Amino acid sequence: MFRMTKYVAILISSTANSLLQSIDETVNPCDNFYQFACGTWIKNARIPDDDSVISALSGANKQLNDLLMDFLSLSSTNETNELNSIINARRLYKSCVNQETIEADSVDFLLSLINNEFGGWPILQGPIWNNSTFNLSNLLLKMAEYNLNSIYVVMTTVDDKNSSMHAIGVGQGTLGLGERQLYESESALTNSYRQWIQDLALILTNVTSMIDNDVTSIFEFEKKIAEYSLTTAEQIAHQKDNIRTTIDFSNYIRRVYELVNVTLNDTDLVIVGEIEYLRNVSKLITQYSSRTVRNYFIWSFMMKIIDYMPKRYRATKQQFTQILEGAVAEVPRSLTCSSNVNSLMGFALSRLYVPKYFDEKARNEYKFNSSYIRNGLTIAKLTARSNFRLVRQFVDRQVWVMPPTRLEAAYNPFYNSILVPAAILQAPTFDKDLPKYLNYGGIGTIIGHEITHGFDTIGRQFDRNGNQVSWWTNQTIAAFDKQNECFIQQYSNYTVLSLNRQVDGALTISENLADNGGLKEAFFAYRKWAQENPNADKKLPGLNKYSREQLLFINYGQIWCAKIRDSFMSNFILADVHSPPQFRVIGSTSNFVEFDRAFGCKPGQLNSRVNKCILW
């Protein structure tokens, strides 16, 4: 009991200090609540050279990664000796951190695979490449086998009209630069992208006569693909335009599923998204030489596998990464490796958090070895195969779709469920020994955020069983859309001053609705709890001047404290469905009358809108 009391005392003291050391009391919370809550934190925070962002959650993330690294570094114990998934996770981690083995591991194996399975990479073979070996169908099939979606995506997904069943999804692939807009004009980013292709080719071959022309052709082909690509905002807006059909147009999809011994029928459902993109790009492929098309596909493959290669090859992308994200140093290898294993095998690592639940079958169909690059290729194939196999299975709503080792939360419209992994249940979002007003301002707003997603622009389209059906009246939809427009206009008027770039209120609308709804739900839930438990919540030392409700808002603001490099922020605004952190806080608090009441704000002050946007 004494030790627990001492622990709580230390926790309370450190939390109070953290709150005090983040607040900038020279700022009026009614003028800029984010700056009030985070100003001193931002002033003192330093972004590490190997990162693009530092945030209030960075400490929690470090604690998680330290725990994962310790766990993965251990030798197997008697308890875990027979748990193959955990043994596999540790093998994968050790193959990643053992840089001597990685450096000694020849890339001849990789080049042999490219030559024998993909038909060679023309940029490395120069004029001796034989285009008579080119077969587009076989190349696409090989890309699918290694889980590559550079032009087309073919995957098993949940049937949006019958969420108890799976269907085949076909749609737009991914671009090397991510978003269409980044190809529209020459920039340091496009130059560094081409340089990366060239540098990698030069380090892999002595046949250099055609490299310059090949690099130009690869980029021009990708740039043309980008012209037909939908942006993230456009994809979201056109989700309802997906076409439901049966297999009558492509032998390719049948062959993909034959990789896992699944024979498709003419009646199997295919959900086709971005149909105009698919038509245009399919036609585009016929207008380019087989050399250019193969070069592009193999380049897409190399982009995916390069992080598994020796350092001299990874170094070719350093300048590109620096321009894209702003980080000027490489992340420590142990951190890179623990994060990668967590991403790929999080359910095996869930034993850290939930001893009675973990996925013993996770990556259990293969025994990883000491070769990191071979393990990486195996993972790619296993990921694709596990997805394709789902097509004949019923959707299991009891399956966790996010491992407990993820520092985030999510809403799944197909399951109509929210997911709150164990890893996020730590300070500053939650601690059972902290005052409730802090927990409601932290994890409470996050849970409220995810609940609200069930009633945002996407979630509202799904019924309680996760089926995409129209269950609202036209009058309700019209009223919803009208209120939506208020939020779109509000957030579109926010500007990141260092870039002079405005937020895309349409792209971020669902997340903005969730932020606004989540804050309100958490606040009123806390008020109800406080009424039922009067005087149960104690003040923190040094913070007596603030009311409990004010401290709820302050912790809400502080969980979003962040400092972000401009290069990273530029791409964040372009593609991320969330608003930048400062506007998540300012936008939601400025719409909430209870925030005004708590801090004595008057509508018209900068952090208190006169015409508040209200939906839920």
Residue ranges of domains in the chain, CATH in brackets: 2-57+411-599 (3.40.390.10), 86-391 (1.10.1380.10)
pLDDT at 546: 97
Q: Is the pLDDT of residue 558 over 70?
A: yes
Is residue 220 very low, low, confident or very high in pLDDT (cuts 50, 70, 90)?
A: very high
When pLDDT is averaged across residues 154-166 and rounded to a whole number, the result is 95
Is residue 68 very low, low, confident or very high in pLDDT (cuts 50, 70, 90)?
A: very high
Is residue 500 very low, low, confident or very high in pLDDT (cuts 50, 70, 90)?
A: very high
Sheet holding 243-246, edge to edge: 152-158, 166-172, 269-272, 243-246
| Strand pairing report for 152-158 and 166-172 | antiparallel
Q: Is the pLDDT of residue 394 over 90?
A: yes
Q: Where are the alpha helices (DSSP H) in 454-547?
A: 474-492, 509-532
The answer to whether the Cα torsion of 382, 388, 393, 395 is positive or negative is positive
- HEC states along 362-427? CCCCCCCCCCHHHHHHHHHHHHHHHHHHHHHCCCCCCCCCCCCCCCCCEEECCCCEEECCHHHCCC
Q: Is the pLDDT of residue 274 over 70?
A: yes
pLDDT at 361: 46
Is residue 245 very low, low, confident or very high in pLDDT (cuts 50, 70, 90)?
A: low
Give residue-wise pLDDT tens across range 346-393: 888 887 666 644 444 444 556 789 999 999 999 999 999 999 999 999
Q: Is the pLDDT of residue 250 over 50?
A: yes
pLDDT at 11: 85
Q: Which residues contact 475 (CB under 8 A, 6 or more apart)?
A: none
pLDDT at 352: 66
Q: What is the DSSP letter of 307?
A: G
Give residue-wise pLDDT tens across range 407-418: 999 999 999 999
When pLDDT is averaged across residues 550-565 and rounded to a whole number, the result is 98
Nearest to 118 by CA among 371, 379, 295, 378: 295
pLDDT at 85: 84
When pLDDT is averaged across residues 140-152 and rounded to a whole number, the result is 92
Structure tokens at 437: 């007003």
pTM above 0.85, yes or no: yes
Q: Is the pLDDT of residue 575 over 90?
A: yes
Which has the minimum average pLDDT: 79-83, 99-103, 197-201, 472-476?
79-83
Whether residue 43 contacts residue 30, with contact meaning beta carbons closer than 8 Å, is answered with no
Is residue 176 very low, low, confident or very high in pLDDT (cuts 50, 70, 90)?
A: very high
When pLDDT is averaged across residues 139-160 and rounded to a whole number, the result is 93
Q: Is the pLDDT of residue 248 over 50?
A: no
- The residue that leads in pLDDT, 112 or 364, is 112
Give residue-wise pLDDT tens across range 122-143: 999 999 999 888 999 899 999 9
% of the chain with per-residue pLDDT over 90: 80
When pLDDT is averaged across residues 426-455 and rounded to a whole number, the result is 96
% of the chain with per-residue pLDDT over 70: 94
Whether residue 265 contacts residue 247, with contact meaning beta carbons closer than 8 Å, is answered with yes
From residue 291, alpha-carbon distances to 120, 127, 201, 508, 521 in Å are: 10, 10, 15, 40, 57
Q: Which residues contact 552 (CB under 8 A, 6 or more apart)?
A: 437, 438, 440, 441, 522, 523, 526
When pLDDT is averaged across residues 478-493 and rounded to a whole number, the result is 96
Give residue-wise pLDDT tens across range 304-334: 999 999 999 999 999 999 999 999 898 999 9
pLDDT at 465: 93
Average pLDDT across the chain, whole number: 91
pLDDT at 349: 85
